[in-house]
Amino acid sequence: MELRITLESFGTEHKREILKALEDIDNIIELIKKSESAAAAKVKLSEKYGFTSNQAHAIVEMKLGKLAGLEKIEISSGRA
C-alpha cells in the first residue's frame, strides 16, 4: 500500500524509470547498503540512475517486501 501511494505521485515516465531500477535491484540494494546514510544513498541513486530527489527518496524508503514480483506486476499493469 505504501509503495502504491508513493508511485502514484509520479507520472508514467517516472514509474518506468523506477521499474527500470527494479530490474537492477541487486545493484541498487548494494549501493544503498554501502552508503554511509540514507541521504548519501539518495544522492548516489540520483547520480547513477538519474532519479529525481523524490524518486530516490521513494526507492530508499521502499520496504524489501514490496519488491516481490507481485508488486512489480501490479505497478507494470497500471493497477498501482
Integer Cα distance of 79 and 7 in angstroms: 11
User: pLDDT tens digits, residue range 61-74?
Assistant: 887 776 665 455 55
**pLDDT tens, residue by residue, 21-32:** 677 888 988 999
Residue bearing the bigger pLDDT, 60 or 8: 60
The domain in which residue 25 lies consists of 2-76
- The cell 540512475 sits on which residue? 49
Do residues 9 and 42 touch, judged by C-beta distance below 8 A? no
**CATH number of the domain where residue 33 is located:** 1.10.268.10
46 CB-side CA count, 13 A = 13
Domain total in the chain: 1
For 1-23, write each residue's pLDDT tens digit.
444 545 555 666 666 766 776 77
The predicted-structure confidence for 31-49, as pLDDT tens digits, reads as follows 999 999 999 999 999 999 8
pTM: 0.62
